[in-house]
Homo-oligomer: A and B are copies of this chain.
Amino acid sequence: MNSADLGRRVGVPSTALFTDQYELTMVQAALKAGTADRYSVFEAFTRRLPEGRRYGVVGGTGRVLDAVENFHFDDEMLAFLRDRDVVDAPTLQWLADYRFSGDIWGYPEGEVYFPGSPILRVEGSFAECVLLETVILSILNHDSAIAAAASRMSAAAGGRGLIEMGARRTHELSAVASARAAYVGGFDTTSDLAAGFRYGIPTVGTSAHAFTLLHDTERDAFQAQVDSLGRNTTLLVDTYDVTEAVRTAVEIAGTELGAVRIDSGDLLLVAHRVRQQLDELGATGTRIVVTSDLDEYAIASLAAAPVDAYGVGTQLVTGSGHPTCSMVYKLVARAGSADPAEELRPVAKKSLGAKSSVGGRKWAARRLDEHGVAEAEVVGTGPVPAELADRQLQVELVRGGEVVAREPLEAARTRHLAARGGLPMSASQLSRGEPVIPTERV
């Protein structure tokens, strides 16, 4: 598949400096010690879900692939590292030639995950793998946090429309990635034009209070909007008096009026009143869009209200209380040489606190019960049991430095809905609880 089919690939700059300095100095020291090329296996995983969450959602895998592909040091970057004395001359030369040439396997984007799930596995020389730590974690930690919030909101919305409109509440590029992750998690559209441009996500818009206030009357504003954007537009009806605004809106646009947006007040109450008024005016097809600091709980509480679509901002792009995941990227096994065929030694920190990890290269599979519902996330380091062989979760993403698993964003979105649908019903409970299935280590 040609990558041009997969959204517009614009201006992805080099990702090589989205890196913590210690990765470069570790490479320098390992080069000098002759250990830099020891064949190594790193894994990205999380020890726990955010408190009370029942499942995680893998977001950002596609962006990780872009980042690995664009990870190279240009002359200006190398000059910076030299001028700042970050690393020595042999290391600069090594960096100048850097291209990741190893292998990456991982959970495909949109898949769900649990504590200990080996979400991404990166193999190659120590030096080439350790360099990718920060940028991989940045992407997975951010995008998975947003995808998880989006998934909860889309479960709560129960099929009603979900518009991502949080761009103004987060960093401008975090916003683009958030719109992307929200789409994976089940949102339908975004207000963020850059997300439409970069990833092909459908974009939508309504109107702001400023537009009404610009005009001498609300009627003038509605008339201007309908004249230019047509009767199918969405009019914002809460700048002054909602009842009067709805009446004016239908007078101007007729019963073909596309939608009205309510951005304040008791949304449950107001939505009912507006629906009744619209119906009485004959605008039975006019939709109601609500916005105003919605989260998954507010969305769920409006289930009985006559709402057609939810616009969600702040709480989405901040992960609904959990703006990051706690994924880490750990060396789990290594050889004594560059030979990948050499037996790998499992390695793990023996930490003081709760931070110890399990050594060894891991596989993962999701075991189903007799009804086909997930009952355990099984993670192991030995041979894969025959009965789990076709339930393995990791797929090949990069082979010998070449990305082999690009896919349209739609595929990740579809996968997520299927994966979530395969979990026990309690997965979509919004209340706090334990992970909906346990992780078993074998």
Residue positions of A touching B, CB distance < 8 A: 8, 10-11, 13, 15, 17-26, 28-33, 35, 38, 40, 42, 67, 76-77, 80-81, 84, 86, 88, 126, 130, 133-135, 137-139, 141-143, 165, 167-177, 191-194, 196-197, 203-211, 213-216, 220, 223-225, 227-229, 233, 238-242, 263-266, 270, 292, 314, 317-318, 323-324, 326, 329-331, 334, 336, 347-353, 355
CB pair A76–B10 under 8 Å, yes or no, is yes
The 7 closest A-B pairs by CB, nearest first: A265-B352, A21-B205, A22-B205, A33-B224, A137-B168, A210-B331, A29-B228
Copies of the protein in its oligomer: 2
Closest CB in chain B relative to A91 CB, distance in Å: 9
Closest CB in chain B relative to A150 CB, distance in Å: 15
Closest CB in chain B relative to A206 CB, distance in Å: 5
CB neighbours of A227 from chain B (8 A): 29, 32-33
CB pair A169–B324 under 8 Å, yes or no, is yes
Report the nearest B residue to A238, measured CB to CB.
Answer: B352
CB pair B17–A228 under 8 Å, yes or no, is no
A20 to B331 alpha-carbon distance, docked (Å): 42
A266 to B351 alpha-carbon distance, docked (Å): 11
Candidates B67, B175, B318, B323; contact of A138 at CB < 8 Å: B175
Closest CB in chain B relative to A143 CB, distance in Å: 8
Closest CB in chain B relative to A4 CB, distance in Å: 13
Closest CB in chain B relative to A369 CB, distance in Å: 36
Report the nearest B residue to A356, measured CB to CB.
Answer: B264
CB neighbours of A174 from chain B (8 A): 142, 170-171, 173-174
CB neighbours of A38 from chain B (8 A): 214
CB pair A20–B192 under 8 Å, yes or no, is yes
* Residue from A135, A141, A213, A318 whose CB has the most chain B CB atoms within 10 Å: A213
CB pair A35–B355 under 8 Å, yes or no, is no
CB neighbours of A314 from chain B (8 A): 324, 326
CB pair B350–A208 under 8 Å, yes or no, is no
CB pair A135–B172 under 8 Å, yes or no, is yes
Candidates B18, B135, B334, B349; contact of A209 at CB < 8 Å: B349
* Residue from A67, A176, A214, A349 whose CB has the most chain B CB atoms within 10 Å: A214
With A204-B21, A314-B324, A352-B242 as known contacts, state yes or no: A171 contacts B172, CB within 8 Å. Answer: no
CB pair B196–A25 under 8 Å, yes or no, is no
CB pair B331–A167 under 8 Å, yes or no, is no
CB pair B238–A172 under 8 Å, yes or no, is no
A76 to B196 alpha-carbon distance, docked (Å): 13
A434 to B283 alpha-carbon distance, docked (Å): 47
CB neighbours of A135 from chain B (8 A): 172
CB neighbours of A141 from chain B (8 A): 168-170
With A169-B141, A323-B318 as known contacts, state yes or no: A194 contacts B17, CB within 8 Å. Answer: yes
CB pair B330–A264 under 8 Å, yes or no, is no
CB pair B331–A270 under 8 Å, yes or no, is no
CB pair A168–B17 under 8 Å, yes or no, is no
CB neighbours of A270 from chain B (8 A): 352
CB neighbours of A347 from chain B (8 A): 213
A80 to B202 alpha-carbon distance, docked (Å): 12
| Interface CB pairs A-B, < 8 A, 19 | A20-B168, A21-B204, A25-B205, A26-B211, A29-B207, A31-B228, A33-B223, A35-B214, A35-B215, A40-B214, A42-B210, A126-B210, A134-B172, A168-B329, A171-B171, A171-B177, A270-B352, A314-B326, A323-B323
